[in-house]
Amino acid sequence: MRLIETRGNDGKKPKEVDFSYAILNPMASFGGLYAPKELPNFGIDFLQKHLNSTYKELAKDVLNSFEIDIEKDLIDQALQRYDQFDDANNPVPVVEVEENLFISELFHGPTRAFKDMALQPFGVILSELAKKRGEKYLILAATSGDTGPATLETFKNKENIKVCCLYPDGGTSDVQRLQMVTEDAPNLEVLGIKGNFDDAQNALKELLASSEFKKILEEKNLKLSAANSVNFGRIIFQTIYHIHSYLELIRRKKINLGDKIYLSVPSGNFGNALGAYYVKKAGLPIEKIIIASNSNNILTEFINTGKYDLRNKKLIHTISPAMDILKSSNIERVLFDKFGAKRTKELMESLNNNLYYELTKEELDEIQSDFMATFTTDDEVMNVIREYLISKNYLMDPHTATNIKAFKEKNEKMLPFVAYSTAEWTKFSPTIAKTLGLNAKNDKEALEAISNKFFKEITPKIIKIFEKKVVNSKIIEKSDIITAVISFL
Ligand SMILES: *Cc1c(COP(=O)(O)O)cnc(C)c1O
């Protein structure tokens, strides 16, 4: 596979790169991203071949079809990470919750959120590439709660990789915080910031622009890379489970090969939905991809009107924090795929300079041929959680709950509807306890109250986290971030 740049080439960077180059150096010319030049075919023949495949067999053939420049042994080693999921044979169970509604659970990995689906194998590939090339990398991550734990978990004790993770102190759940501060390995640093997620992210941007910081990286022979979904190395692993979900519906005799289905994706940075877009284009029979949002409904507005408008928009803190976002990075790759580099550069520059862009009518039609969108408020999310627990005995987290309005409003053709569950309820237990009218002072009490009243098992890994020793308890002022990161290096 060759990758090209979403905003065109600046004459300094290579015009086309291999997969390994793109994952080690994720930023392309003019601040753009790398995107595949061509896609494989995941149509009927491919699906037919995998009717009886395990997840890993399917994954291997998906990666093989992309023709990535990674040795077979290393791919095998990366995919072995799915063996640590709850069921190694089926890391992504698909649960039938009511007629036509299938919840595809992406949270059965070590940190109980969908980030593990990609970060687990991605971490193996990135660190092995670095080792082979004799290069050392620093991964910086600002997290609102799920990317941090998954990044630390995948890179702990990896040679040639250092990770520094910034999180807003008080801005994550106890479970998310404990998942980070108890992670004990010499190549990891975790810093709590006195401030919110935006402060953590801004601090990170400031750090990246600082000349003092650049000098120190050079002295230490450290290169920078990124583990967020601007890195195509994550996106490729987020194509597999969409195909898997489709195959599962065939295996259960809910559809025949070739029938169309809907996919609904709780979205923030649009990495999950982008994976769905690529497989749809590659031939998977998908009627529409539905983008589910919370009250930060910029994606709903974009898909319904063609306007991406950040003017007068402020980030709202919701009970589905992993979807609290205004600038959704991976929309850029869809724009590029549909309208080319020249137009993408124009639109992204307009967003940077004017906080606004608008598609033409024809362009909007193109977007709407693949996507629909809807958003759900916190109150509606809480009602959904309560309703589905009580009437269907299915307990979902607040991110997953944003799918239900999509199911009720957008299933226009009454087709089988796959909704992605992106986190286990255990990561957001205080919100759920409150929703269910249970008293709890903290995550631990909330977990126990929910578990006792509704007979829901708490994942052993989550219980154990409360007993683990805290090894990273640094809480620092925003102004001390640069010094703290440098002293870690
Ligand atoms: C990251 C995340 C999302 C958003 O996924 P994107 O790929 O960024 O759109 C949704 N839900 C949860 C729980 C997440 O951790």
Q: What is the DSSP letter of 438?
A: -
Inter-CA distances, 55 with 125, 238, 279, 449, Å: 18, 13, 16, 35
Counting from 1 in the atom list of ligand 1, the atom nearest the Cα of 423 is 13
Q: How far, in Å, CA of 122 to CA of 77, rounded?
A: 11
CATH code for 78-113+235-465?
3.40.50.1100
CA–centroid distance, residue 147 to ligand 1 (Å): 9
Confidence band of 482 (pLDDT split at 50, 70, 90)? confident
Integer angstrom CA distances of residue 243 from 88, 269, 278, 439 = 17, 21, 11, 41
- Give me the percent of the chain exceeding a pLDDT of 70: 100
Decide: 399 in ligand 1 pocket, CB within 6 A: yes
For residue 19, CA distances in Å to 6, 34, 78, 147 come to: 15, 9, 15, 22
Average pLDDT, rounded, for the chain: 95
**Using a 6 Å cutoff on CB, does residue 266 contact ligand 1?**
yes
Among 7-11, 80-84, 199-203, the minimum mean pLDDT is found in: 199-203
Output the DSSP codes for 75-132: HHHHHGGGGGSSSTT-SS-EEEEETTEEEEE---STTSBTHHHHHHHHHHHHHHHHHH
pLDDT for 473: 83
- For residue range 365-394, list pLDDT tens digits in order: 999 999 999 999 999 999 999 999 999 999
Task: Tell me the pairing of strands 417-421 and 101-105.
Answer: parallel
Please compute, for residue 93, the number of CA atoms within 13 A of its CA located in the half-sphere on the CB side. Answer: 11
Question: Across-strand partners of 95?
Answer: 103
- Report pLDDT digits (tens) over 173-216: 899 999 999 999 999 999 999 988 778 877 877 887 788 888 88
pLDDT above 90: residue 240: yes
Q: Ligand 1: does its nearest atom lie under 6 Å from the Cβ of 325?
A: no
- Atom of ligand 1 lying closest to residue 115 CA: 15
Q: From the CB of 113, is ligand 1 less than 6 Å away? A: yes
Q: Which amino acid is at 109?
A: G
CA of 393 to the centre of ligand 1 (A): 24
333 Cα to the center of ligand 1, angstroms: 17
CA 15–ligand 1 middle distance (angstroms): 31
* Prediction pTM value: 0.96
Confidence of residue 86 (pLDDT cuts 50, 70, 90): very high
CA of 322 to the centre of ligand 1 (A): 5
- Nearest-CA residue for ligand 1 atom 2 is 322
266 CA closest ligand 1 atom index:
10
Pocket test for ligand 1, best of 323, 371, 381, 428 (most atoms within 8 A of CB): 323
Using the mean position of ligand 1's atoms as its centre, give its distance from the Cα of residue 268 in Å.
Answer: 5
Q: CB of 229 closer than 6 A to ligand 1? A: yes
Closest CA to 120 of 108, 104, 132: 108
Going by alpha carbons, the residue nearest to atom 1 of ligand 1 is: 322
Residue-level pLDDT at 208: 77
The domain ranges of the chain are 78-113+235-465
d(CA 20, CA 129) in angstroms, rounded, equals: 8
